[in-house]
Protein backbone atom coordinates (compact mmCIF):
# COMPACT_ATOMS: atom_id res chain seq x y z
CA UNK A 1 0.00 0.00 0.00
CA UNK A 2 1.52 3.29 -1.04
CA UNK A 3 0.31 5.71 1.56
CA UNK A 4 0.33 9.28 0.40
CA UNK A 5 -1.37 10.77 3.44
CA UNK A 6 -3.38 10.04 6.54
CA UNK A 7 -6.24 12.06 7.95
CA UNK A 8 -7.26 12.03 11.60
CA UNK A 9 -10.64 10.40 12.18
CA UNK A 10 -10.78 10.19 15.99
CA UNK A 11 -8.43 12.07 18.31
CA UNK A 12 -7.04 10.55 21.50
CA UNK A 13 -9.33 12.84 23.55
CA UNK A 14 -12.44 11.64 21.71
CA UNK A 15 -11.27 8.04 22.05
CA UNK A 16 -10.60 8.39 25.79
CA UNK A 17 -14.05 9.86 26.39
CA UNK A 18 -15.79 7.09 24.42
CA UNK A 19 -13.81 4.32 26.14
CA UNK A 20 -14.91 5.75 29.51
CA UNK A 21 -18.55 5.68 28.36
CA UNK A 22 -18.26 2.08 27.20
CA UNK A 23 -16.60 1.04 30.47
CA UNK A 24 -19.36 2.69 32.50
CA UNK A 25 -22.05 0.86 30.50
CA UNK A 26 -20.25 -2.49 30.77
CA UNK A 27 -19.74 -1.98 34.53
CA UNK A 28 -23.45 -1.22 34.93
CA UNK A 29 -24.57 -4.18 32.78
CA UNK A 30 -22.37 -6.66 34.68
CA UNK A 31 -22.77 -5.20 38.19
CA UNK A 32 -22.48 -7.91 40.84
CA UNK A 33 -20.89 -10.38 38.40
CA UNK A 34 -17.34 -11.25 37.48
CA UNK A 35 -16.53 -10.67 33.84
CA UNK A 36 -13.85 -12.28 31.69
CA UNK A 37 -12.62 -10.05 28.89
CA UNK A 38 -11.06 -11.87 25.96
CA UNK A 39 -8.98 -9.58 23.80
CA UNK A 40 -8.31 -10.43 20.19
CA UNK A 41 -4.63 -9.86 19.44
CA UNK A 42 -2.90 -7.90 18.23
CA UNK A 43 -5.20 -5.04 17.31
CA UNK A 44 -7.37 -4.89 20.44
CA UNK A 45 -4.63 -4.77 23.08
CA UNK A 46 -4.49 -0.97 23.44
CA UNK A 47 -8.29 -0.59 23.46
CA UNK A 48 -8.65 -3.44 25.94
CA UNK A 49 -5.97 -2.02 28.29
CA UNK A 50 -7.71 1.36 28.34
CA UNK A 51 -11.15 -0.25 28.71
CA UNK A 52 -10.26 -2.52 31.62
CA UNK A 53 -8.65 0.36 33.53
CA UNK A 54 -11.99 2.18 33.34
CA UNK A 55 -14.25 -0.80 34.21
CA UNK A 56 -15.30 -0.66 37.87
CA UNK A 57 -16.23 -4.32 38.45
CA UNK A 58 -13.98 -7.37 39.01
CA UNK A 59 -12.57 -8.64 35.71
CA UNK A 60 -10.27 -11.32 34.47
CA UNK A 61 -8.38 -11.17 31.20
CA UNK A 62 -7.37 -13.58 28.49
CA UNK A 63 -6.31 -13.29 24.87
CA UNK A 64 -6.76 -15.09 21.59
CA UNK A 65 -5.17 -14.39 18.25
CA UNK A 66 -7.02 -14.84 15.00
CA UNK A 67 -5.90 -13.85 11.55
CA UNK A 68 -7.72 -13.25 8.30
CA UNK A 69 -5.82 -10.36 6.74
CA UNK A 70 -2.25 -11.57 6.31
CA UNK A 71 -0.14 -8.71 4.95
CA UNK A 72 -2.89 -7.07 2.91
CA UNK A 73 -5.62 -4.55 3.55
CA UNK A 74 -8.46 -6.87 2.47
CA UNK A 75 -9.66 -9.84 4.49
CA UNK A 76 -8.70 -13.16 2.93
CA UNK A 77 -11.96 -14.67 4.21
CA UNK A 78 -10.07 -17.59 5.77
CA UNK A 79 -9.80 -17.42 9.58
CA UNK A 80 -6.92 -19.03 11.43
CA UNK A 81 -6.58 -19.17 15.24
CA UNK A 82 -2.92 -18.76 16.10
CA UNK A 83 -3.33 -18.38 19.90
CA UNK A 84 -6.05 -20.03 21.94
CA UNK A 85 -7.44 -18.74 25.25
CA UNK A 86 -6.02 -20.30 28.40
CA UNK A 87 -9.03 -19.79 30.71
CA UNK A 88 -12.00 -22.09 31.14
CA UNK A 89 -15.08 -20.09 30.17
CA UNK A 90 -17.75 -22.67 31.02
CA UNK A 91 -20.59 -20.94 32.91
CA UNK A 92 -18.74 -17.58 32.90
CA UNK A 93 -19.73 -14.14 31.61
CA UNK A 94 -17.56 -13.43 28.59
CA UNK A 95 -16.94 -10.20 26.73
CA UNK A 96 -14.89 -10.39 23.54
CA UNK A 97 -12.92 -7.19 22.97
CA UNK A 98 -11.96 -6.53 19.35
CA UNK A 99 -10.47 -3.58 17.50
CA UNK A 100 -12.67 -3.59 14.41
CA UNK A 101 -15.73 -5.44 13.18
CA UNK A 102 -15.61 -5.37 9.40
CA UNK A 103 -16.89 -8.28 7.28
CA UNK A 104 -17.73 -10.10 10.52
CA UNK A 105 -16.26 -13.38 9.30
CA UNK A 106 -13.46 -13.51 11.88
CA UNK A 107 -15.74 -12.50 14.75
CA UNK A 108 -18.47 -14.96 13.72
CA UNK A 109 -15.87 -17.74 13.68
CA UNK A 110 -14.64 -16.74 17.16
CA UNK A 111 -18.13 -16.31 18.65
CA UNK A 112 -19.15 -19.75 17.36
CA UNK A 113 -15.91 -21.27 18.68
CA UNK A 114 -16.42 -19.75 22.15
CA UNK A 115 -20.12 -20.74 22.31
CA UNK A 116 -19.02 -24.39 21.99
CA UNK A 117 -17.31 -23.92 25.38
CA UNK A 118 -20.66 -23.12 27.08
CA UNK A 119 -20.18 -19.68 28.62
CA UNK A 120 -22.97 -18.33 30.82
CA UNK A 121 -23.16 -15.27 28.55
CA UNK A 122 -21.19 -14.06 25.54
CA UNK A 123 -21.13 -10.51 24.22
CA UNK A 124 -18.94 -8.56 21.82
CA UNK A 125 -17.35 -5.13 22.33
CA UNK A 126 -15.67 -3.51 19.33
CA UNK A 127 -13.78 -0.27 19.06
CA UNK A 128 -14.81 0.34 15.42
CA UNK A 129 -17.81 -1.04 13.55
CA UNK A 130 -17.79 -0.95 9.73
CA UNK A 131 -21.30 -2.26 8.98
CA UNK A 132 -21.16 -1.42 5.27
CA UNK A 133 -18.78 -4.31 4.60
CA UNK A 134 -20.55 -6.91 6.80
CA UNK A 135 -20.93 -10.34 5.21
CA UNK A 136 -22.70 -12.00 8.19
CA UNK A 137 -25.60 -10.89 10.39
CA UNK A 138 -23.42 -10.50 13.50
CA UNK A 139 -23.79 -7.25 15.47
CA UNK A 140 -21.63 -6.07 18.36
CA UNK A 141 -23.23 -5.48 21.76
CA UNK A 142 -20.96 -2.53 22.56
CA UNK A 143 -19.56 -0.23 19.87
CA UNK A 144 -17.01 2.50 20.34
CA UNK A 145 -17.50 4.16 16.98
CA UNK A 146 -19.36 3.30 13.79
CA UNK A 147 -17.85 4.26 10.46
CA UNK A 148 -18.82 3.83 6.83
CA UNK A 149 -15.67 2.70 5.12
CA UNK A 150 -11.99 3.44 4.73
CA UNK A 151 -8.76 1.83 5.86
CA UNK A 152 -7.93 2.99 9.38
CA UNK A 153 -4.79 2.77 11.51
CA UNK A 154 -3.69 3.80 14.97
CA UNK A 155 -4.79 2.95 18.52
CA UNK A 156 -3.82 -0.70 18.00
CA UNK A 157 -4.87 -0.99 14.35
CA UNK A 158 -2.02 -1.42 11.92
CA UNK A 159 -1.00 -1.86 8.34
CA UNK A 160 1.92 -4.31 8.14
CA UNK A 161 2.72 -3.51 11.81
CA UNK A 162 3.00 0.21 11.06
CA UNK A 163 0.92 2.96 12.75
CA UNK A 164 -0.29 0.64 15.55
CA UNK A 165 1.15 2.79 18.33
CA UNK A 166 -0.41 6.11 17.34
CA UNK A 167 -2.81 7.30 20.08
CA UNK A 168 -5.20 8.66 17.42
CA UNK A 169 -7.17 6.90 14.66
CA UNK A 170 -6.32 7.87 11.09
CA UNK A 171 -7.86 7.09 7.71
CA UNK A 172 -5.20 6.24 5.15
CA UNK A 173 -5.67 8.16 1.90
CA UNK A 174 -4.11 6.56 -1.16
Q: Flag whether 79 is in a domain.
A: yes
What is the pLDDT at residue 3?
46
Q: Flag whether 136 is in a domain.
A: yes
Q: Does 102 participate in catalysis according to the annotation?
A: yes
Q: What is the CATH number of the domain that holds 29?
A: 3.40.50.2020
Cβ count within 10 A of residue 120: 12
Contact by Cβ (8 Å): 97, 48: yes
Q: Flag whether 50 is in a domain.
A: yes
Number of domains in the chain: 1
Under-50 pLDDT residues of the chain: 1-3, 71
Distance CA 37, CA 59 (A): 7
Q: Flag whether 169 is in a domain.
A: no
The pLDDT tens digits of the residues spanning 93-107 come to: 999 999 999 989 999
Contact by Cβ (8 Å): 22, 51: yes
From the candidates 50, 93, 99, 102, give the one annotated as an active-site residue. Answer: 102
Distance CA 119, CA 92 (A): 5
Range of the domain at 25: 12-161
Amino acid sequence: MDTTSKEILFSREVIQKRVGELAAQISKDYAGRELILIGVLKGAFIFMADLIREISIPCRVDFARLASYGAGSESSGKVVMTKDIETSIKDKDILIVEDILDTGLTMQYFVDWLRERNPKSLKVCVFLDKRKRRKVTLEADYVGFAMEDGFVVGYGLDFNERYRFSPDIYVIKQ
